[in-house]
């Protein structure tokens, strides 16, 4: 299974990405997608500014994807993370996991997101409607705790 | 010479996104590097005052504070990540 990992400023087309994992592969029985979208935080937020560590961002997501590929029998996996200025309603991140059966695809997509949130080098800064910077979004311990459920005995 | 890169509020507090420094021979671990940087000035002390929360990557790989720097050529310092 070869995973596709993209770190980019431009948006992505979810339907086109799904198509890449199903076209010509009649062994695929399940495709799970997760899309992370920018909220407006009760109307206050003008945009998020996403900073990333070029080079490491791709490599870290590839490492996570490789682990997912070892744990579940996937037929395909795509992870796309955007950077730069992202406005409410716009896409931030996409995971598409494909497998023969749904269980592996659901689990792998969830695993990818949990690890990307805590291990992929991206940082969000809030920009408010009045133009002021709201500061850097705090990391939540809940996100770190989410990794524990994937620890193998 | 070793390349240091900074991100998010670590970058803002130090006031630069990257620099090259000569590591003193006495510095061999990540925590030794953090202590050394704090002596470089007020902006470093401010950025690294709660050094236990600072995350570190050696040549693009997450590392612990007790890790040996070894022959890493790029060390990144940044806050906990908030992607996704």
For residues A134 and B66, the model is more confident at B66
Flag if A116 and B9 touch (Cβ within 8 Å): no
- Domain assignment present for residue A153? The answer is no
| A135: exposed, middle or buried (Cβ count in 10 Å: 0-12, 13-18, 19+) | exposed
Q: Measured between alpha carbons, how far is B67 from B54 in angstroms, rounded to an integer?
A: 14
Q: Which long-range contacts (CB under 8 A, 24 or more apart) does B10-18 make?
A: B10/B47, B10/B48, B10/B54, B10/B77, B10/B78, B10/B79, B11/B78, B13/B43, B13/B46, B13/B47, B14/B43, B14/B44, B14/B47, B15/B43
Closest-CA distance, A38 to chain B, in angstroms, reads: 10
For domain B2-78, the CATH superfamily is: Beta-grasp domain (3.10.20.30)
The reported pLDDT for the residue numbered B54 is 97
ipTM exceeding cut-off 0.90 for this assembly: yes
- Domain assignment present for residue A135? The answer is yes
Report the share of chain A in percent with pLDDT over 90.
Answer: 82
The reported pLDDT for the residue numbered A146 is 87
Q: In whole numbers, what is the pLDDT of chain A averaged over residues? A: 95
Query: How many domains in chain A?
Result: 1
Flag if B83 and A138 touch (Cβ within 8 Å): no
Which pLDDT tens digit goes with each residue over A32-71?
999 999 999 889 999 999 999 999 999 999 999 999 999 9
Cross-chain CB nearest to B84 (options A59, A116, A136): A116
- Domain assignment present for residue A62? The answer is yes
Structural domain span for residue A67: 3-148
For residue A153, pLDDT over 60 is answered with no
The reported pLDDT for the residue numbered A131 is 78
Q: Measured between alpha carbons, how far is B72 from B56 in angstroms, rounded to an integer?
A: 12
Q: Measured between alpha carbons, how far is A96 from A35 in angstroms, rounded to an integer?
A: 9
Query: Looking at chain B from residue 45 to 64, which residues have their Cβ under 8 Å from any Cβ of chain A?
Result: 57, 60-62
Q: Tell me, what CATH number does A74's domain have?
A: 3.90.1170.40
Which pLDDT tens digit goes with each residue over B34-58?
999 999 999 999 999 999 999 999 9
- Domain assignment present for residue A10? The answer is yes
């Amino acid at each position: 299974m070869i995973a596709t990992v993209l770190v980019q400023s431009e948006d992505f087309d979810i339907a086109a990405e799904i198509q890449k994992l199903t076209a010509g592969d009649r062994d695929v029985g399940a495709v799970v997608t997760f899309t992370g979208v920018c909220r407006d935080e009760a109307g206050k937020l003008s945009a998020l500014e996403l900073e990333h560590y070029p080079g490491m961002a791709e490599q870290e997501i590839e490492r996570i994807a490789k682990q997912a590929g070892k744990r579940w029998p996937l037929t395909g996996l795509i992870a796309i993370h955007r950077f730069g200025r992202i406005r409410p309603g716009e896409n931030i991140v996409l995971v598409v996991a494909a497998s023969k059966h749904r269980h592996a695809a659901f689990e792998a997509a969830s695993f990818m997101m949990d690890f990307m949130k805590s291990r992929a080098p991206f940082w969000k800064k809030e920009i408010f409607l009045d133009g002021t910077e709201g500061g850097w979004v705090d990391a939540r311990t809940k996100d770190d705790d989410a990794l524990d459920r994937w620890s193998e005995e | 010479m070793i390349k240091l890169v900074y991100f998010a509020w670590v970058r803002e507090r130090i006031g630069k996104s990257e620099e090259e420094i000569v590591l003193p021979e006495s510095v061999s671990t990540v925590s030794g590097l953090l202590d050394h940087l704090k002596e470089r000035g007020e902006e470093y002390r401010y950025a690294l005052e709660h050094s236990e929360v600072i995350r570190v990557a050696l040549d693009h790989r997450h590392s612990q504070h007790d890790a040996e720097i070894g022959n890493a050529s790029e060390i990144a310092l940044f806050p906990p990540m908030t992607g996704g």
